[in-house]
Amino acid sequence: MILEKFKEVLATVLPISILVIIFNFTIIPVDNEYMLRFIIGAIMIIIGLTIFLLGVDIGITPIGETMGSKIVLSNKVWIVAAIGLLLGFVISVAEPDLHILAGQVEKVTMEILGKNILVVVVSIGVAVLVSLGMLRIVYSFPLNKFLFITYIFILIFGYLAESFFISVAFDASGSTTGALTVPFILALAMGASSLNKDSESAEVDSFGLVGIASAGAILGVLVLNIFVKPNLNATPDLSSTGKIGIIGPFLHEFPVVALEILIALLPITIIYIIANKISFHQNKRTTQRIYFGIFLTFLGLVFFLVGVNAGFMDVGRYIGLYLGENGNKLVIVFVAFLLGILTILAEPAVHVLTNQIEDVTSGYVKKSTVLMTLSIGVGIAVALSVVKIMVPGMELWHFLLPGYIIGFILSYKVPSLFVGIAFDSGGVASGPMTATFILAYAQGIASSFESADLLLDGFGTIAMVAMTPVIALQLLGVVYKSTAAKEDSNV
Identify the pLDDT of residue 125. 97
Domain of residue 477 covers 2-490
Q: Of 219, 266, 254, which is closest to residue 93 (Cα–Cα)?
A: 266
DSSP three-state, residue 392: coil
Q: Of 368, 399, 371, which is closest to residue 383 (Cα–Cα)?
A: 399
Q: Using an 8 Å Cβ cutoff, are 330 and 367 in contact?
A: no
- Range with the poorest average pLDDT among 243-252, 342-351, 383-392: 342-351
The predicted-structure confidence for 142-199, as pLDDT tens digits, reads as follows 999 999 999 999 999 999 999 999 999 999 999 998 878 888 888 888 777 776 666 5
Query: To which H or E segment does residue 330 belong?
Result: helix 329-346
Q: Of 384, 409, 411, which is closest to residue 399 (Cα–Cα)?
A: 384
Amino acid identity, position 35: M
Q: Using an 8 Å Cβ cutoff, are 181 and 436 in contact?
A: no
Q: Is 113 left (phi over 0), alpha (psi -120 to 50) or beta?
A: beta
Distance separating alpha carbons of residues 105 and 413, to the nearest angstrom: 38
pLDDT band at 86 (very low <50, low <70, confident <90, very high): very high
Asked if pLDDT for residue 129 goes beyond 80, the answer is yes
Identify the pLDDT of residue 327. 75
Identify the pLDDT of residue 387. 95
Q: Is the pTM of this model over 0.85?
A: yes
pLDDT band at 122 (very low <50, low <70, confident <90, very high): very high
DSSP three-state, residue 489: helix
Task: Give how far Cα 428 sits from Cα of 55, 137, 173, 175, Å.
Answer: 19, 21, 11, 10
Of these ranges, 11-15, 125-129, 411-415, the one predicted with the greatest mean pLDDT is 125-129
The predicted-structure confidence for 108-119, as pLDDT tens digits, reads as follows 888 888 999 999
Please give the average per-residue pLDDT across 136-147, as a whole number.
89
**First-residue to last-residue Cα distance in the chain:** 45
Task: Give how far Cα 302 sits from Cα of 24, 88, 97, Å.
Answer: 28, 22, 13
Cα radius of gyration rounded to whole Å, the chain = 22
Q: What is the DSSP letter of 194?
A: T
Q: What is the DSSP letter of 328?
A: -
What secondary structure does DSSP assign to 397-462, as a single string? HHHHHHHHHHHHHHHTTS-HHHHHHHHHTHHHHS-HHIIIIIHHHHHHHHHH-TT--HHHHSS-HH
Distance separating alpha carbons of residues 58 and 100, to the nearest angstrom: 24
Task: Give how far Cα 219 sits from Cα of 9, 114, 265, 375, Å.
Answer: 31, 18, 24, 28
Where b means 16+ CB within 10 Å and e means fewer, 92-128 reads: bbbbbbbbbbbbbbbbbbeeebebeebbbbbbbbbbb
pLDDT band at 214 (very low <50, low <70, confident <90, very high): very high
Distance separating alpha carbons of residues 365 and 330, to the nearest angstrom: 34
The predicted-structure confidence for 421-446, as pLDDT tens digits, reads as follows 888 887 778 878 888 889 999 999 99
Task: Give how far Cα 480 sits from Cα of 237, 361, 370, Å.
Answer: 49, 8, 12
Of these ranges, 76-80, 294-298, 320-324, the one predicted with the greatest mean pLDDT is 294-298
- Percentages (nearest 5) of helix, strand, coil residues in the chain: 80, 0, 20
Distance separating alpha carbons of residues 318 and 128, to the nearest angstrom: 38
How many domains in the chain? 1
Please give the average per-residue pLDDT across 225-229, as a whole number.
88
DSSP three-state, residue 162: coil
Amino acid identity, position 451: S
The predicted-structure confidence for 325-377, as pLDDT tens digits, reads as follows 887 899 999 999 999 998 888 776 787 778 777 777 778 778 888 888 888 99
CB atoms inside a 10 Å sphere around CB 68: 23
What residues have CB less than 8 Å from 41, skipping those under 6 apart? 307, 308, 310, 311, 312, 313, 315
